[in-house]
Amino acid sequence: MNLKRSSALLGVLAAAGALTLSACGSDNNTSSNGAAKIDVACGGKSSLKSSGSTAQKNAMDLFVAAYQTNCSGAKLDYTGSGSGAGVNEFIGNQTDFAGSDSPLDAKKGETDKAAARCGSPAWNLPMVFGPIAVAYNIDGITDLVLDPPTIAKIFSGEITMWNDTAIKALNTNKADKLPNEKIGVIYRSDESGTTDNFQKYLTAAGGYTKGAGKTFNGGVGEGVKGSDGMAAAVQGTKNTITYVEWSFAQAQKLSSVHVLTTATSNDPKPVELTAESAGKAVDAAKVAGEGNDMVLDNSSIYKPTAGGAYPIMLATYEIVCSKYSDADTAKAVKAFLTSAVGNGQSGLAAAGYVPLPDAFKTKLTTAINAIQ
């Protein structure tokens, strides 16, 4: 496997470092995603700056378009630098809010550092829900079934061949099609909340012993920077597998694993990743944080108790100050976030995300309104 020779990958990596989204004023009554204008308390700072998660990049396109429609002359520059960089830049007061695939980590001091930067507690607001696809490239197979322990063993190097007996046992109707080829694991080389969430899932559901965190700990495979890069690498390289946000897997037309959720007693059938199965997981998600700090209880997603719920789900947070030192910044941030949960939801499903359930919209709107 030689990823460096993949022209598709090289093209992606050349652009991955500078993902910038901007919203400029417009007199149109609909956004570029076709969403009608809604009433928003616009005003405040005319130009916002944010950075972080590449997983939410495509959703941010829609949010920015909605913000542009609602607030003439408003601007937001969002740089998809990765969750780790986004949190660091927010803590360093370089941005107005951060995008992250994981909430602030108190053990790493992020919670205290963010509070010091804000002069008030920082809140984690889960604004974007997107499934993490276990995407692969095997000739002739588009419906591969894997269970959590087998996925964990692949990403920790314990299972190395596509025709391993464990994989064949889960795919008896296509066992003879599984190639006698080495599994090429592709992992995220830069710090990423997607990696953190995926490893947490493997630990909770698959017995993965390598630990979680924003750095991949599996000790196998080849690292690639950014979600775009990972998806392009698998698309361009046979017999590879990766974990990547569904929107990027869709963009590269990759096949995704059907996950056998054995913990789901009501329906032990393999769950195909669809908008419906992802929506069931979001509906079951529970909030573990207190008040307006809406940190999620991931175990409610990773080990679903309802049939047909896809268990590998990523919640992308916007990390904001509960009280900004500058009232103009607070007003603009609130206007953007209000747009995001409002007409910004239009088109999310087509982009590979799960639109916010009504219950979450209500909770998020309460938190957004409370920002000072």
Q: Is 101 annotated as a binding residue?
A: yes
Using alpha carbons, list the distances in angstroms from residue 20 to 17, 205, 301: 9, 36, 31
> CA-to-CA distance for 178 and 3, rounded, in angstroms?
22
For tokens 């061949």, name the residue: 161
Chain-centroid distance of CA 320 in Å reads 18
Instruction: Please give the structure tokens belonging to residue 117.
Output: 């930067």
284 labelled binding-site residue: no
- Secondary structure E strands in 183-293: 184-188, 222-224, 240-245, 255-256, 258-260, 270-271, 286-287
> Cα 180 to chain center, whole Å?
32
Residue with tokens 């053990």: 107
The pair of structure tokens assigned to 214 is: 């924003």
Place of tokens 């329906």: 267
Nearest to 83 by CA among 337, 366, 314: 314
- Determine if residue 203 is labeled as part of a ligand binding site: no
Does 192 appear as a known binding residue? yes
How far is 16 from 10, CA to CA, in rounded Å? 10
Is 17 labelled as part of a ligand binding site?
A: no
The C-alpha angle 194, 364, 202, rounded to 5 degrees, equals 25
Neighbours of 351 (CB within 10 A): 17
Q: Is 83 annotated as a binding residue?
A: yes
Tally DSSP H helices, then E strands, for the chain.
13, 15
For residue 173, how many other CB atoms are within 10 A of its CB?
A: 8
55 is in an annotated binding site: yes
The reply to whether 139 sits in an annotated binding site is no
| Residues placed in the known binding site for phosphate | 53-55, 83, 101, 192-194
| Residues placed in the known binding site | 53-55, 83, 101, 192-194
